[in-house]
Amino acid sequence: MEGYRTDVRVCNLSLLSTGWYIDQMKRKAYNSEPLPISMEWSQYKDGTRDVIALEGGHDQFLNIKDVVEYIKRPEFDQKRQLVFISNARYSDGKSIPASFSLPVDKAKVLANGTVDSTLADQIVDHLSWNLRSDRGDGINYLYKAYLVMMDILANNNWERPIYYASTTGSEAFFGLESYFQLEGLAYRLVPIKTAYRGGYESGRINNDILYNNLVNVFNDHKRVDRMNNPDAPAQEPYEYAWGGLNDPRVYNCEDNMRLTGLVRSIYIRLANSLLAAGDTIRAEKTLDQCDIILNDKIMPYKMTYQMNFSLFSLDFIKTYFALNTSTGREKAIEKTSRYLDYIIEDFAWYESISDQSRKWQTENILNEFVLTSQLLKQTPLNDADLAAVKEKVKKIKFDQCGTQALALLCADADNILKNFENKQNELARKLSEMRDIATLSTMIGNQQMAEKANGALDHYLQVLTSMDPYIGQAFKNFLNGEQ
C-alpha cells in the first residue's frame, strides 16, 4: 500500500490473467518482495493456459503443488485452453479433479504468528477443499488468474500472510472460505477449519485481532478542516489509508453507501462474537464505535432501494437489544425510533404519488412492509418505557399502497398456484408478505386493511388445504412459526 504499507502487495485478480501484470507481481515493488510465482514467461504469456477445464471435485484432495507442476509441463506451453477431463471428447492430459490440499507447516505458522499458540491444537495438517461448480455437468473452468493463485498458494509455504478482500464476490475466494479469519475488510488465510455458513458469515473471528482493528486502529476518521480551522491541532497520520467516511463534508456516492452495509455487518459480527464469549463491555463498545464511523446523520440506517443495507441496520439495532444492558437497551430504542422515522416518511411518500408511480415502486413498497415487520418483531413493544415508539408506529399510513401491494401479491399467488409444484418456496414468501401487511395493519389500528390481508391469507390457505391437507397444514405452521 503506497505510502502506508510498502511491504504489502495488492494483487488484482481481474488483471492476474494478463502476462504484463504477472510480470509485475514477479518483481519487487518498494519493500514488497516478489510474489512466489514459479511459472516462467513461456508458461503464462498471453495465449497460453488462458482457460483450464477441470473435473468436479469430490474429496480427492490432490496436493496443489503437484497439480501446478503438472499443468506447467512444456507440452502445454502453446495451448490457450487446456482440458483435463476423463469423459470429454478431447482431453489434453490425465483428468484432474478440482479438489485440492495444501500442507501446513505447524511449527512455522506458530512461529510467525499466523496462528496464536493458544490455538495450536486447532491447526489442521492440510487445507482440503473442493471447488464449487455452478454448471450442471460439474466442470470447473479456471481462468489463468486462478492458476497463478494456485501457484502462489503452493509456493508461499506459509511464509507471508495471504488475505482476500471481503468486498469481492465469492468466486474470488477459490473455495477457501472454511479457512478464512475475518480481520476487517479482509479475510486472512489460516490453517484452522471453520464451518462455512455462506454469505457475509464467512470465516472465523479472533476477537482480540478484530476488536483492535475496528475499535482502536479505525477509531475515527474525520478529516481536519484546515480551511475553516487553520489553527486546528496537528493530527497523527492513521496507520491505514482510511479517511473521510464519517466526515459530513465528504460526498459518498451510491456505490460507497451500498458498501458501508458490509462494513456495518463486520462490527455486528464482532459484537455477536464478543457476546458469545461473555464480553458484554467490549461488545457494546464495538457497536458504539460502528455508530461513530457510520453515524446515521451521514450514513442513514435505511435506504429504500437497498434491502440488504437496511437489513444490516436492523441487525445492528437487534444486537444492541441483545446486550441486555440498560445503556444498550436505551440505544436500541433510540435507533428503533429513528428507523421508524424513515419508514413513516417512505410510506407517506408512497401514499402521495399516483397509482402508476406506486406500481413502479411495488418492490420497494413490499420491502418496506418486510423491514417494518422485522423491526417490530425484534422490538419489545409491550414494555412501558417504549410508549414513544408505540405512538410512532401508529403514525404509519399505507391505505393506498397497502391495497395495491396486496392486490399484486394475490395476482402473483394465483399465477404460482398454476405451477405450484415447482414454486412452493415462492408462494411461501408471498404469503409471508401478506402476513406482514396484516400484522402491521393490526399494530397501527388499520382494521380494514388487516381484514383484507387476513382474508387473502385465509383464502390461499383454504385453497392449499383443498389441494392437499398436509401441504395446507405445512403452510399454516410456517406462517404461525414466523409470528
Amino acid of residue 29: A
pLDDT for the residue 224: 64
**What's the average model confidence in pLDDT over 469-482?**
87
Share the mean pLDDT of the chain: 90
pLDDT for the residue 307: 87
Task: Report the share of the chain in percent with pLDDT over 90.
Answer: 68
Residues 291 and 271 sit within 8 Å (Cβ to Cβ): no
What's the pLDDT tens digit per position in 443-465? 888 999 999 999 999 999 999 99
How many Cβ atoms are within 10 Å of 197's Cβ, its own excluded? 11
DSSP 31-84: TBPPP-----HHHHSTTSS-EEEEBPPSS--EEHHHHHHHHT-GGGTT-SEEEE
Give how far Cα 260 sits from Cα of 73, 291, 318, Å: 45, 12, 18
**What's the average model confidence in pLDDT over 55-64?**
95
**What's the average model confidence in pLDDT over 83-94?**
87
pLDDT for the residue 137: 77
More confident residue, 392 or 249: 392
pLDDT for the residue 220: 66
Lowest mean pLDDT among 95-99, 155-159, 233-237, 320-324: 233-237
pLDDT(437) > 80: yes
pLDDT(1) > 70: no
**What's the average model confidence in pLDDT over 418-444?**
89
Which range scores top for mean pLDDT: 294-298, 373-377, 389-393, 460-464? 460-464
pLDDT(258) > 50: yes
**What's the average model confidence in pLDDT over 237-263?**
74
Q: Angle between the 399-417 and 424-444 helix axes, to the nearest 10 degrees?
A: 160
Query: What are the residue ranges spanned by the domains of the chain?
Result: 19-205, 260-482
pLDDT for the residue 217: 82
pLDDT(239) > 70: no
**What's the average model confidence in pLDDT over 14-38?**
96
pLDDT(478) > 60: yes
**What's the average model confidence in pLDDT over 400-412?**
92
What is the rounded CA–CA span in Å between residue 103 and residue 109?
A: 11
pTM comes to: 0.88
Residues 221 and 267 sit within 8 Å (Cβ to Cβ): no
pLDDT for the residue 222: 62
**What's the average model confidence in pLDDT over 74-97?**
90
pLDDT for the residue 75: 94
Burial of 340 (0-12, 13-18, 19+ CB in 10 A): buried
483: confidence class by pLDDT, cuts 50, 70, 90: very low
pLDDT for the residue 285: 97
pLDDT(55) > 50: yes
Residues 392 and 340 sit within 8 Å (Cβ to Cβ): yes
Q: Where are the alpha helices (DSSP H) in 294-396?
A: 307-322, 326-352, 355-360, 362-377, 387-393
354: confidence class by pLDDT, cuts 50, 70, 90: very high
**What's the average model confidence in pLDDT over 204-212?**
95
What is the rounded CA–CA span in Å between residue 247 and residue 224?
A: 9
What is the rounded CA–CA span in Å between residue 72 and residue 69?
A: 5
DSSP 182-198: E-SSEEEE-SB------
What's the pLDDT tens digit per position in 211-228? 999 998 877 666 666 677
pLDDT(290) > 90: yes
pLDDT(378) > 50: yes
pLDDT(136) > 80: no
Return the C-alpha cell found at 452: 383484507
What is the rounded CA–CA span in Å between residue 59 and residue 65?
A: 17
**What's the average model confidence in pLDDT over 173-187?**
94
Give how far Cα 115 sits from Cα of 120, 175, 279, Å: 7, 21, 22
Place of cell 479472533: 206
pLDDT for the residue 299: 86
pLDDT(237) > 70: no
Amino acid of residue 225: D
Residues 180 and 203 sit within 8 Å (Cβ to Cβ): yes
